[in-house]
Amino acid sequence: MRKFMYLGLLTASISSVVIAAYLYSMYSFIPEGSPDPLVSLDSPMRKELSSVKLIGIYSSLSLVASLLLWVFNKYAGKWGVFALNALISVASILGFYFVLTYLRDGWDVFQIIGTPLFYIWPLIWMGCQPLFLMEIKSK
């Protein structure tokens, strides 16, 4: 159980740093005070898609996923781990379609910056797993 908790905490930490850096760079790239209301600081998308909210989402995902992984692993072994990761991968791929079809007033820039939001966390999640779940024997 403990190693799953450590996996959740590590994924939460790394994904929080990455998403904060990603949003910072994207929002810096969009010039502040732009006359275009869609990309200005007052944009409804920027207010709702804040770093605080996304750090919260990524951290909760990491911690909940690690608990689920513990349950899946306990009852179905490596196939359980595979099933959970497959579910996450499918959700991530469907996220691309969600972004492409998401239409909302003031959220036009979402189609540019939204897609990576759906694969940053899964990549970090799966990247961290071998640290806790695999035992690779050294020569």
* Site residues for another protein per CB under 8 A: 2, 5-6, 8-9, 12, 42, 44, 47-48, 50, 52-53, 55-57, 59-60, 63-64
User: What SS3 class is residue 39?
Assistant: coil
| Complex with another protein: residue 55 or 133, whichever CB lies closer | 55
* Cβ contact 119:92 at 8 Å: yes
116: which residues sit within 8 A by CB, 6+ positions away?
22
We find the least distance from the C-beta atom of residue 27 to another protein, in angstroms, to be: 12
| Complex with another protein: residue 78 or 104, whichever CB lies closer | 104
We find the least distance from the C-beta atom of residue 66 to another protein, in angstroms, to be: 9
- Number of continuous H segments (helices) and E segments (strands) in the chain: 5, 0
We find the least distance from the C-beta atom of residue 127 to another protein, in angstroms, to be: 20
Handedness of CA 34, 101, 114, 47 (dihedral sign): positive
| Complex with another protein: residue 31 or 44, whichever CB lies closer | 44
88: which residues sit within 8 A by CB, 6+ positions away?
65, 122, 125, 126
We find the least distance from the C-beta atom of residue 78 to another protein, in angstroms, to be: 24
| Complex with another protein: residue 74 or 78, whichever CB lies closer | 74
